[in-house]
Amino acid sequence: MVFRKLARPLLASAFITRGIDALQHPGSRIPAAQKFSESVAEPLGVPGDPELLVRVNGAVMAGAGTLLALGKFPRLAGAALAVSLVPATFFEHRFWEESDPEAKAAEKKQFFGNLGLLGGVLLASLDTAGNPGLVWRTKNAAHIASLESQLAAKNAVSAVSDKLPF
Return the domain boundaries, the chain: 2-131, 132-166
| pLDDT tens figures, 126-153 | 887 777 777 778 888 899 999 999 988 8
The per-residue pLDDT for 121 is 95
Let me know: does 70 contact 83? Beta carbons within 8 Å: no
**pLDDT of the residue at 1:** 67
Asked if residue 22 lies in contact with residue 61, where contact means CB atoms within 8 angstroms, the answer is yes
The set of long-range contacts for 65-68, using a CB threshold of 8 Å and a minimum separation of 24, is 65/12, 65/13, 65/14, 65/15, 65/16, 65/19, 66/12, 66/16, 68/8, 68/9, 68/11, 68/12, 68/15, 68/121, 68/124
Structure pTM?
Answer: 0.73
b/e code 10-26 from CB counts within 10 Å (16+ = b): ebbebbbebbeebbeeb
Neighbours of 139 (CB within 10 A): 12
Alpha helices (H) in the chain, listed in sequence order: 2-24, 30-36, 42-44, 50-70, 74-92, 101-126, 134-161
What pLDDT score does 68 carry? 96
* pLDDT at residue number 166: 66
The series of mean pLDDT values per 10 residues for the chain, 166 residues long, is: 87 96 93 85 79 93 97 94 93 92 95 96 86 80 90 84 72
Q: Of 51, 64, 48, give the one whose Cα is nearest residue 24.
A: 51
